[in-house]
C-alpha cells in the first residue's frame, strides 16, 4: 500500500512519524509524498494549542472529497489530538477510519492491514508500555542520512499547569539502555554522524518516573551519554529537552568529559518569576535555575543556552515579566522559543481566567524578541576572526552554491564548498562575517 503521512507539532511527533514510516516500509508498504498517490492517509496530530487541532481537523475534513473519489482510501488520525478526543472524532469526521492513541504506535501495521479488509471505525487510545517496542524503527528519508533521532523516553509525569502532554502522552517510561545503544549503532552503521536524543524530559531517563531531583551522583542519562560517547563513527550527540532539576553534578561532569556531547543546552525557563513558576507547577526557582546555569557554565565555558518562555501566563504582572526579561538577559540565551500564553483545553491552567490581555502578551513577546535579536547579533559578532569546527550539513537551503554546518554549540555557519566536501564530516571554518542569525566564513 502507498502511505502518506502528514505530521503536525513537535520533534517528538516528527520522530513518531519516522517510526510509523519505518514500520510500514519494513512490512512492505511504500511511503509517498502526495495525498493523491496514497491508499492510506495518516495524520499525526498535535494538541498543544486549540488552533493546532482546528488546523488538523480542517485538513482531514477536506480529505472527504478525495475519499468520495477513492472509496477504498483509509484515513487515520494518530498523535496527541487522537489521544485527547478518541472516538469523538468520528462525530465530526465520519469519513475517518481509525483513531490511534499515543500509546499504540506499535500497532499501526496490523491495524491498517485489518481495516483494509474489514471496514469499520476503530479507536484505540489505551496506554501501553508495549509502545516502547515500536519506537526504534527508522526511515532515513524523513530525517536525513548524517543526522538521526532516537526517542529514549515517552510521556511525562510533571504536570506543569499549562501543559497537555501528561494527559495525551501518558506516564513517563524509559527504554532499555541496550535497545537505545543498538539503535544508535545501527544508525551509525548506516552513515549517521550526529544523533539527537529525544524525550519530554530527556534527562529523567531511567529514573522510573520519579519527579524528585536525583542524588548528585545518580544519573542514568549520564550513563547513557557515556556509553553513546564510545560508539565509533559517531561524531556528535545532542539532546532535548531536559528539565532543569535533573542537571546534577554527575550529569554536568559527564557532559564535560564526553567530547562528542555538544555544548548547547536547551534549558526551558518558562518564567523568571518564582510566583509564576509556582503557578505553573514548575519545581524550581529563579535562584535554583541560575545555579544550574552557573554550574553548567563553570564546567563548559563555551556552552550556549537556548530556552522556552511563556509570556502572559494568567496573573503575570509587569514585574513578573521584568523578572523573566532579567533572567533571559543574565543567562544570555542564544535562542529562545517565546510563546504567548494560550490555554490548552484540559490542562490545569485552562480552568483559570486567561487574564492578561492579548495586546499585553504581544508587547511582552516583542520586547523579548527584540532583546534576543540584539543579543544574538552581539554574540555572533564576537566570533568574527575565530576558527570554528562545524559538522557539515549540506547545501544552504536558500542558496545551493553555499553550504552550511553547525558548531558543537549550535552556531550556523555558511561557506563556499570545496571539491569533495561531504555532509556529515567535521571541517574547520574561519569566520569572516556575522549576520543576524548566522555566520559566514571560509573553509580552511
Given the rule CB under 6 A, which residues bind ligand SF4? Answer: 156, 158-160, 163, 165-166, 200-201, 243
Q: How far is CA 91 from the centre of its chain?
A: 31
Q: Can you give the length of the chain in residues?
A: 444
Nearer to ligand SF4, 158 or 411 (CB): 158
Nearer to ligand SF4, 158 or 263 (CB): 158
As measured in angstroms, the least distance from the Cβ of 312 to ligand SF4 is 16
As measured in angstroms, the least distance from the Cβ of 314 to ligand SF4 is 16
β partners of residue 44: 7, 78
Query: 96 near 73, Cβ under 8 Å?
Result: no
As measured in angstroms, the least distance from the Cβ of 227 to ligand SF4 is 25
Nearer to ligand SF4, 156 or 265 (CB): 156
> Which residue intervals of 258-311 are DSSP H helices?
274-279, 286-299
As measured in angstroms, the least distance from the Cβ of 257 to ligand SF4 is 27
Nearer to ligand SF4, 311 or 391 (CB): 311
62 DSSP assignment:
H
Nearer to ligand SF4, 139 or 167 (CB): 167
Nearer to ligand SF4, 113 or 127 (CB): 127
Cell numbers found for residue 149: 533521532
Q: How many CB atoms lie within 10 A of CB 425?
A: 14
β partners of residue 124: 100
As measured in angstroms, the least distance from the Cβ of 233 to ligand SF4 is 32
As measured in angstroms, the least distance from the Cβ of 329 to ligand SF4 is 23
- Cell 549503532 identifies what position? 185
Nearer to ligand SF4, 187 or 280 (CB): 280
Nearer to ligand SF4, 62 or 159 (CB): 159
As measured in angstroms, the least distance from the Cβ of 162 to ligand SF4 is 7
As measured in angstroms, the least distance from the Cβ of 35 to ligand SF4 is 31
Buried b (16+ CB within 10 A) or exposed e, 59-96: ebeebeeebeeeeebbbbbbbbbbbbbeeebbeebebb
Nearer to ligand SF4, 137 or 200 (CB): 200
Q: Which residues contact 377 (CB under 8 A, 6 or more apart)?
A: 434, 436
Count how many Cα atoms sit within 13 Å of the Cα of residue 395 in the half-sphere of its side chain. 5
Give the whole-angstrom CA distance, residue 360 versus residue 366. Answer: 10
Give the whole-angstrom CA distance, residue 179 versus residue 132. Answer: 10
Pick from 267, 277, 158, 144: which is nearest to 211 by CA?
Answer: 158
Largest CA distance in the chain: 66
> Which residue intervals of 118-273 are DSSP H helices?
165-169, 177-189, 220-229, 249-257
As measured in angstroms, the least distance from the Cβ of 229 to ligand SF4 is 26
As measured in angstroms, the least distance from the Cβ of 14 to ligand SF4 is 16
Looking only at the bridges linking them, the beta strands covering 387-396 and 399-407 are antiparallel
Nearer to ligand SF4, 158 or 364 (CB): 158
Report the alpha-carbon angle 359-360-364, nearest 5.
Answer: 115
Amino acid at each position: 500500500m502507498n502511505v502518506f503521512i502528514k505530521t503536525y507539532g513537535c520533534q517528538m511527533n516528527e520522530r513518531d512519524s519516522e517510526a510509523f514510516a519505518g514500520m510500514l516500509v519494513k512490512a512492505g508498504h511504500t511511503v509517498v509524498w502526495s495525498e493523491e498517490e496514497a491508499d492510506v492517509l495518516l495524520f499525526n496530530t498535535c494538541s498543544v494549542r486549540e488552533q493546532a487541532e482546528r488546523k488538523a481537523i480542517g485538513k482531514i475534513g477536506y480529505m472527504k472529497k478525495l475519499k468520495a473519489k477513492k472509496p477504498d482510501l483509509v484515513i487515520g488520525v494518530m498523535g496527541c489530538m487522537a489521544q485527547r478526543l478518541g472516538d469523538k472524532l468520528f462525530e465530526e469526521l465520519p469519513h475517518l477510519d481509525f483513531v490511534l492513541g499515543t500509546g499504540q504506535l506499535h500497532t499501526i501495521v496490523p491495524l491498517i492491514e485489518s481495516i483494509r479488509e474489514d471496514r469499520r471505525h476503530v479507536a484505540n487510545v489505551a496506554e501501553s508500555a508495549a509502545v516502547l517496542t515500536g519506537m526504534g524503527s527508522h526511515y532515513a528519508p524523513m530525517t536525513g542520512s548524517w543526522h538521526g533521532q532516537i526517542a529514549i523516553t515517552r510521556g511525562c509525569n510533571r504536570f506543569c499547569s499549562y501543559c497537555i502532554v501528561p494527559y495525551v502522552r501518558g506516564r513517563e517510561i524509559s527504554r532499555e539502555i541496550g535497545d537505545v545503544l543498538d539503535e544508535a549503532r545501527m544508525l551509525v552503521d548506516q552513515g549517521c554522524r550526529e544523533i539527537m536524543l529525544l524525550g519530554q524530559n530527556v534527562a529523567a531517563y531511567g529514573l522510573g518516573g520519579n519527579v524528585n531531583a536525583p542524588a548528585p551522583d545518580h544519573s542514568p542519562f549520564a550513563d547513557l551519554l557515556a556509553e553513546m560517547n564510545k560508539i565509533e563513527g559517531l561524531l556528535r550527540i545532542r539532546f532535548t529537552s531536559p528539565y532543569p532539576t535533573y542537571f546534577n553534578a554527575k550529569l554536568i561532569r559527564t557532559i564535560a568529559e564526553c567530547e562528542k556531547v555538544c555544548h548547547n543546552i536547551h534549558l526551558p525557563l518558562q518564567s523568571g518569576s518564582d510566583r509564576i513558576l509556582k503557578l505553573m507547577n514548575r519545581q524550581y526557582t529563579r535562584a535554583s535555575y541560575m545555579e544550574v546555569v552557573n554550574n553548567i557554565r563553570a564546567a563548559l565555558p563555551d556552552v550556549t543556552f537556548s530556552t522556552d518562555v511563556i509570556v502572559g501566563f494568567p496573573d503575570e504582572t509587569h514585574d513578573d515579566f521584568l523578572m523573566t526579561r532579567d533572567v533571559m538577559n543574565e543567562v544570555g540565551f542564544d535562542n529562545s522559543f517565546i510563546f504567548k500564553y494560550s490555554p490548552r483545553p484540559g490542562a490545569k491552567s485552562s480552568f483559570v481566567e486567561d487574564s492578561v490581555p492579548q495586546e499585553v502578551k504581544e508587547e511582552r513577546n516583542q520586547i523579548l524578541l527584540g532583546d534576543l535579536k540584539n543579543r544574538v547579533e552581539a554574540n555572533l559578532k564576537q566570533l568574527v576572526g575565530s576558527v570554528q569546527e562545524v559538522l557539515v550539513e549540506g547545501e544552504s537551503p536558500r542558496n545551493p552554491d553555499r553550504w552550511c554546518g553547525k558548531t558543537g554549540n549550535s552556531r550556523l555557519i555558511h561557506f563556499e564548498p570545496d571539491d569533495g566536501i561531504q555532509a556529515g564530516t567535521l571541517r574547520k571554518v574561519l569566520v569572516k562575517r556575522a549576520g543576524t542569525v548566522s555566520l559566514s566564513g571560509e573553509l580552511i
